[in-house]
Every structure is written in C-alpha cells, then in structure tokens.
Amino acid sequence: MNARHTLFTAMIGAALVAGGAGFVWVAAHRAQLELGVGYAARVACGCRYVDGRSLGDCHKDFEPGMEPIRLSENPATKVVTASVPLIASRSVRYDPVLGCQPEPFRGTALIVKH
C-alpha cells in the first residue's frame, strides 16, 4: 500500500511539473504562435482558393517549426482557419476581388515587453 501511495504521489508530481513547464513554454512563445497562425491562415487560403489545391496539400507551404498548426475550412463561406488548439486561432476569408482577407481580431491583445 505504501509503494502505491508513493508511486501515485510521484505521478501527480510529474504531471504538475509537466503542466507547469507547458504553461511556461506557451507563455514564452505565445506571440510567435499568434503570428504563426495568422501567417498559416493566409498562406492556406491562397493555397486553397487561389491555387485550387486541397487543404491537406497546403501544409507543404509552411515554414519549418509550423507543425503544431492545424487547418480547417468552411467551403460555404470560403473561410480558412489556422489554429494551435487551446492557444491561438486566426481565420481568413477568400474574396474573389480582394483575395484572402483576415477576419477581424476578436481576442485579447498581446502586451510585448522589451
């Protein structure tokens, strides 16, 4: 019983440390993630609606390090959304005259400290 309690306590401690490290990493990289999803949405919109390629093929156009970004689309409204789940998301709408235009930002503005 004592060995189980020690193992359980160690597992809880490891989960807390991993969660804390993840939180610190996200806080340190949030601005890059916000910028990355905006860039990815714009690139994927052009890939999908200007080049006519499938959304799955658009990942080839991403820069190294953009692997966590996920893409989705709404074909009825021609909106492409790029996101890092639970952290950042941006949408771009294709307009036949204006091209790929970002949707209005509805999040919390980032405060960048120098």
Mean pLDDT of the 4-17 span = 76
Residue 74 has pLDDT above 90, yes or no: yes
Question: Is residue 41 assigned to a domain?
Answer: yes
Question: Is residue 78 assigned to a domain?
Answer: yes
d(CA 47, CA 31): 24
Question: Is residue 26 assigned to a domain?
Answer: no
Highest mean pLDDT of the ranges 32-36, 63-67, 76-80, 94-98: 76-80
Q: Taking phi first (over 0 means left), then psi (-120 to 50 degrees means alpha), and beta for anything else, what does residue 99 get?
A: left
Residue 110 has pLDDT above 60, yes or no: no
Residue 6 has pLDDT above 60, yes or no: yes
Cut 0.75: pTM above it: no
Question: Is residue 35 assigned to a domain?
Answer: yes
The boundaries of the domain holding residue 51 are 31-102
The total of structural domains in the chain comes to: 1
| Secondary structure of residue 18 in the 3-state scheme | helix
Mean pLDDT of the 17-39 span = 72
